[in-house]
Amino acid sequence: MDKRFSWIFLAASAAFFVFIVGLTGYRIETVRRVNSLTASDRVGRLAERAAGLRNAAGSFEAPLFRQEMRRLFDAEARLLLLGIHSPSHGVLYLVARNRSYVREKPGGQADPPTEPSYQYSRGYEVLARSPLPGGPSGAEGVDAAVDGLFIIMGREDLYPILRDDLYLFLVFLLVCGVFILIVTGIQQDDTDTRNQPTAAAMDAAEKSSSPPAGGQGHLEQRLQSEIDRAAAGDQDISFAVLRLDARPAGAGGPAARAAVSTLLQESFSRDLIFNTGGDSFAVVIPDADVDQAVRSLEAVRKRAVESPIGGRTCTVSAGASSRTGRLVEEKTLREEALIALEKAAREGGNRVVGFRADPARFRRTLAG
């Protein structure tokens, strides 16, 4: 990517990072505030239950009171500590999930009594306090208060927030990937447009990479010479004609001809390739039967399809014929190859057709 898109990407990434941090902080603070209000409400209800149990049991020391208060404590999963104390009688009831929540041993009946001191992680835990309703009731009922230490930010609160952050991060990565692909495609198109050769440049490229045109007479002489050489050595020889297909529109032209010429030169001997005019080529393939020739031409056809020219797919059709043990003239091979080419064109193009000669029938014809 160029600098402009790099800066856009960096700005988007920074904005996303700030958004994620801000959203995470906002959600954590919201959860803490809601859970803190819930903790205050729960302590108020526990204070009402404690007052009712005290009145029913008659004392904070009664087994019924302590048993029921412990059941209420165990039922609150977020409750870490539950205590009841009064200024005149000190600690009346105290239960905690861990001794570490009590900073120092309660004053009990000390004179003057001291309130219990707690230690906890502020921000994750909160201490809520509610007066014990009902007023003085006997020696133990003076201005008592209920303390409840609650978890307001635990794993069960943090995991959903982090999970949503992970989902947002994955979506951001997906969007970035699509963005990079789009930008890369746009830049590639711009590069192709800037590098698109002019007509003169394409003509020059075609001339530099095209096989010798030679003319029809030169092709006939060379083909006949190769046929004679193959017959003398009892070898096979194939001849093929290729033509750029007329579709899709705009697939031909100098650039396509030059590309096909290059593919042919990479697959066959350069001095046995001939440009027969326009979008047509001819190839002499020594020591190859028609099946071998078809396979070689099929490889060229596939490579042409897989190598778009100027953003367009270039397709070719080909027809091939071979000596197949016959005593034939170059004219016969050329006519058979052209027949196979026309058959390929009639069948939709972008294919290779081999002309299958019948040697037995050919010999019968010679015998009269």
Domain ranges of the chain: 3-156, 201-367
* Lookup: tokens for 78: 């977020």
pLDDT at 68: 93
pLDDT at 137: 47
pLDDT at 114: 66
pLDDT at 323: 87
Query: By C-alpha distance, which of 203, 239, 270, 234 is closest to 340?
Result: 239
Fold designation for 201-367:
Alpha-Beta Plaits (3.30.70)
**Tens-digit pLDDT profile for the chain (368 aa)?**
567 777 888 888 899 999 999 999 999 999 999 999 999 999 999 999 999 999 898 888 899 999 999 999 999 999 999 999 888 788 889 999 988 898 865 554 445 556 788 989 988 999 999 998 875 444 444 578 999 999 999 999 999 999 999 999 999 889 888 888 887 777 666 655 554 544 444 454 444 445 555 556 688 888 888 888 888 888 899 999 999 987 654 456 788 888 888 889 999 988 899 988 888 999 999 999 999 999 999 999 998 888 777 667 788 999 999 988 888 888 999 999 999 999 999 998 899 999 987 766 655 655 65
Interhelix angle 199-209/254-267, nearest 10 degrees? 20
pLDDT at 211: 55
pLDDT at 310: 63
Query: By C-alpha distance, which of 227, 244, 271, 238 is closest to 357?
Result: 238
pLDDT at 208: 47
What is the rounded CA–CA span in Å between residue 199 and residue 182?
Answer: 30
- Count the neighbouring beta carbons within 10 Å of the beta carbon of residue 241: 26
Contacts of 121 (CB under 8 A, 6+ apart): none
Q: What is the pTM of this model?
A: 0.46
